[in-house]
Amino acid sequence: MSSEVKQSDSEDTLISTWYEDSLSLVNPSADVAKKWKVPFPSDIDVKLEILYVAPSGTELLAHGNPVNCRSYLAQVDLQSHFDDEFAVIRHEDGILLFSTSHQTYRLVFVSRASLTAILDDAFAQSNFSDAEVQLLIQLLCGHSVRGAADDDGIAYETKRSQFKSLCTRAGFSNQNEAIRKTLLALTSHSLDALGVFLGNAVDHSDETLKFLKTYYQERFRFLKVTGRSNRVIRVIETGPVSGVPVIWMHSQTLPPPGQFDDDWCEKQNIRLIIPLREGFLSSLRSGPAPADQLLRTAEDTADVIHMFAGGRAKIVAQSTGAAYALQLAHDHPEVVSELVLGATAFVGDYQNWRIQKFVDGFRNLLGRNPFILAKSYDRYMKRISTRDGLWAVLSSTYETSPRDMSIFEDILSNPLGHTMMYDSYRLSRHSMVSDVGLRALNVWHKAKSLANIPILFVHGASDPINSISDARYVQQSIPGAQFLELEGEGQSLFLNRLRDVVTTSVA
């Protein structure tokens, strides 16, 4: 059951301003970014439920399996809240913070246990008693101390004594300060739960966003979040926000738009989450060394799983993405429920001698002669700048795989197909070069430590790049790992079999 008391207009306007600014993350402005700096989350165990909804009731963003937020919405008429800028509502075993801005609603449910942890963290391990936490909840919901006493059926002097103890522990000087500081702590933690810094809000001139709008239109939601290492992580996702989370670790391009045309994520209740690596679709020309990129990507992906997937998810990786998935599973095994590796790279030498020569050349230049490396990449980009040039490169690479050639022919038959692939490589220079550099590392040397994680290799029988025999050899070296061979398929599984790869699970 829920009970609600609106905050009075006389309370510090900082509260409503803070909430309006934090809500505007859904549609941020430069002014908002400059106004606030949000502290990064501590390591305390706080589990919040957060739900953003439109006036129509459509969910825009969900975090932490917000069952209590949804149960509250099922009890009320959203339109009745349209004029409520901010309200604190008692609901189930905790409180629900309800606020509106830009015709967007945000609900944050805080259980009593999480509220206690937040209070102890915000107010220097004050160790509030159960009675003091109960009183603070009552104050947040609009009661006076006397009203709280009446609500609990106890003497006013008893409640007054509890309030004095509360103020002594936390350093509050009066009731308004207790409400204001507690609300600021709660709001800070709700933003932290999403990993968002206001100063890192989405910039609509961002090249990544331009790329997505040009080629993928409304297929993806695009977010920027901040991980524990204070790095900005770009994330795209599709499917219902309440769906089963699956993390896709991309290779050197994204799956083509046509792979999402039949809304299979919605139909199968899958929330496909794609963290974008540093230097991918961002025109970053230089960055961390490949070994560092590997570690950073694993750490960032673990942060994304905590933010978006409740701390644990199925991981699906394609081609070069397998190296990052393996590092994630090794460094953060607790976040990986199962691991599916599609057309995995780095299992041995490339079958195509032209690719092997190309990759070896780039790898030798990496770290030795950045100038020549940059010029070589520029030359490669010039070569694929026309449709015929790109087709010539693809033909020499995949000539032994009719299936791959058919897929690329279909992509390039669309006028936007060539420009999409060209822009993807143009905007992913650092990511591409870093992936090449990973071949100098033994990405499988820790694979045996993953015996407790269900692992499935999915490989095309006619893969012209990564030998199926090499892939089977690696699979057999990992205790318990399984192998699925797709007859007639080549290397480009994510270009035509994305749904099959994502929905395939370890038996």
308 against 483, higher pLDDT: 483
Among 113-122, 188-197, 450-459, which stretch is predicted with the lowest mean pLDDT?
188-197
Rounded mean pLDDT, 352-361? 59
pLDDT in tens, 13-44: 333 333 343 433 333 333 433 333 333 334 44
257 against 189, higher pLDDT: 257
Give residue 203's pLDDT. Answer: 41
Alpha helix segments (H runs only) across 220-352: 264-267, 290-308, 321-331
pLDDT in tens, 48-66: 788 878 777 777 777 767 8
Laid out side by side, the sheet with 48-53 consists of 2-6, 86-91, 94-101, 104-111, 48-53, 59-63
State how far the Cα of 132 lies from the Cα of 428, in Å rounded to an integer.
Answer: 54
Is the pLDDT confidence value at 206 over 80?
no
Is the pLDDT confidence value at 471 over 60?
yes
Among 201-210, 402-411, 450-459, which stretch is predicted with the lowest mean pLDDT?
201-210
149 against 188, higher pLDDT: 149
Among 45-59, 131-145, 148-162, 313-327, which stretch is predicted with the lowest mean pLDDT?
45-59
Is the pLDDT confidence value at 326 over 90?
yes
State the pLDDT confidence band at 187, using cuts at 50, 70 and 90.
confident
pLDDT in tens, 82-116: 566 678 889 988 999 887 765 678 888 999 988 88
Give residue 302's pLDDT. Answer: 93
Where are the strands (E) in 23-102, listed by range?
Answer: 48-53, 59-63, 86-91, 94-101
Give residue 15's pLDDT. Answer: 36
Give residue 365's pLDDT. Answer: 58
Give residue 185's pLDDT. Answer: 77
Is the pLDDT confidence value at 165 over 50?
yes
Rounded mean pLDDT, 68-90? 80
Among 28, 64, 70, 33, residue whose Cα is nearest residue 46:
64
Give residue 25's pLDDT. Answer: 35
What secondary structure does DSSP assign to 236-262, as a single string? EEES-TTSEEEEEE--SSPPPGGGGTT
Give residue 505's pLDDT. Answer: 86
Give residue 178's pLDDT. Answer: 87
State how far the Cα of 469 lies from the Cα of 63, in Å rounded to an integer.
Answer: 42
- Termini Cα distance of the chain: 42
State how far the Cα of 472 lies from the Cα of 459, in Å rounded to an integer.
Answer: 9
* ∠ Cα 244 246 247 (to 5°): 150
Give residue 334's pLDDT. Answer: 93
Domains of the chain and any CATH numbers: 2-198 (no CATH), 202-503 (3.40.50.1820)
Rounded mean pLDDT, 463-491? 90
Average model confidence (pLDDT) across the chain: 80
Rounded mean pLDDT, 363-374? 63
3-state class of 462 per DSSP?
coil
pLDDT cut 90: percent of the chain above it: 33
Give residue 294's pLDDT. Answer: 93
Give residue 125's pLDDT. Answer: 66
State how far the Cα of 341 lies from the Cα of 325, in Å rounded to an integer.
Answer: 8
pLDDT in tens, 209-238: 889 989 998 888 888 877 778 788 889 999
State how far the Cα of 175 lies from the Cα of 160, in Å rounded to an integer.
Answer: 11
